[in-house]
Amino acid sequence: MGVDEDLLKIADLFYNQLSRGEIPAFELPLRTRDNIVYDEKARVWVYGEKEGVRSAKTVKGAYQILKTVCLIEFLKQQLEEGRSSTLRELYYISENWGEAKFRVQSESDFLIEDLEIISSNQREHFHIRPEEDGASVFGPLTVREETRKGDKVIHCQDDVGDAGYLIPNNIDKVEFLEHDAKLVLAVETGGMRDRLIENGFDEAFDCIIIHLKGQPARSTRRLLKRLNHELSLPVMVFTDCDPWSYRIFASVAYGSIKSAHLSRFMATPDARFIGIMPSDIVKYDLPTDKLTERDKDALKAELKDPRFAGDFWQKEIKLQLDLGKKSEQQSLAKYGLDFVTDTYLPEKLN
């Protein structure tokens, strides 16, 4: 069934409720921290069974239903015309919806998430584009991208510059044709990504190198998920040694609370962490910086985060709090520019 039909089903629901003389209403899961449960089978965190009701019984609720209907109409038209828009544009477009105009952008953002949940879609299916830049890809992989001007076939080593293939904001437009890779390496910083390319790590280890650019964009997480799922490639995440980097890993591997309804599409539970660990600071005697108070608080919060409940993380995070230190992936340069590719990564991959 098409996305437009999924959306019209919601409008249908309201229509039928109204024709039966009922007050329009719909139910959806509570999006709160205490309604997040671990799905053993999918190995990701998803929303639990607690539900809330959006009903036109109150004035606020009635406005919400009106806005939902206007939004569905706009999305339907956008899909029909083959157009797309950003969350920000959507907010501004509502300027002309009279009473249904959004007052702040968080309101329209939230409503799009509601629609994702009710209709079991992802916003990309509604042609709502992200603002952020997607990842760059470099390695032995051939893709076919459905572009504005027809399909294009691109080899992510031979047909691109050294900066790699930049994925489009909607990763659904990319199909994997062929590959000659044994693993996917997702790298936090641009400096380290460029180091691996310069050192020829992609060729030496038959490796697809993805630049995460810090906390990865939705399209980047979906790309990693698909590389893992469709091509059965192991995904390794290579980051700095600090609490923010562990969060990057967690969002890749387990999904985020904010988008738990999408974990099944965006999280890669098989992803492995091969970033710098607190025990590596000791093992390799790496240059460090002191943990700030903010770092310490974040580490303590992670100790209680169910995504870090395993022995491995508990031990490492406690060690880091004891050491009082953090370290960057580029600190491996202490042992020269080749240490990361000749020693560190081969040791971690074994």
CB of 295 vs its own copies, minimal distance in Å: 18
**Of 46-54, 65-73, 155-163, 251-259, which segment contacts its own copies by CB under 8 A?**
155-163
Q: Is 73 in the site for its own copies (CB under 8 A)?
A: no
Cα–Cα distance measured from residue 30 to residue 49, given in angstroms and rounded to the nearest whole number: 8
| Measured CA distances, 165 to 28, 109, 143, 347 (Å) | 39, 29, 10, 28
For the four alpha carbons of 268, 269, 274 and 275, in that order, the dihedral sign comes to positive
Helical (H) or strand (E) element with 63: helix 59-80
> What residues between 174 and 193 interact with its own copies by CB under 8 A?
174, 189-191
Q: Is 164 in the site for its own copies (CB under 8 A)?
A: yes
Is 6 annotated among the ligand-binding residues? no
- Helices 243-253 and 311-323: crossing angle in degrees, nearest 10, is 170
Residues 93-112, one symbol each (x = binds its own copies by CB under 8 A, - = not), give: x-xx----------------
Q: Which is nearer to its own copies, 117 or 154 (CB)?
A: 154
Burial of 328 (0-12, 13-18, 19+ CB in 10 A): buried
Q: What tokens were used for 314?
A: 């508990």
Cβ contacts of 124 within 8 Å, gap of 6 or more: 169, 170, 171, 172, 218, 219, 222
Q: Is 83 in the site for its own copies (CB under 8 A)?
A: yes
Residue with tokens 């691996």: 196
47 is catalytic: no
Q: How many residues bind its own copies (CB under 8 A)?
A: 56
CB of 18 vs its own copies, minimal distance in Å: 30
Is 180 annotated among the ligand-binding residues? no
- Using CB under 8 A, list all residues that contact its own copies: 83-86, 88-90, 92-93, 95-96, 129, 131-134, 136, 145, 147-149, 152, 154, 157, 159-169, 173-174, 189-191, 194-195, 197-198, 200, 211, 213, 287, 328, 330-334, 336-337
- For the annotated catalytic residues, the residue numbers are 92
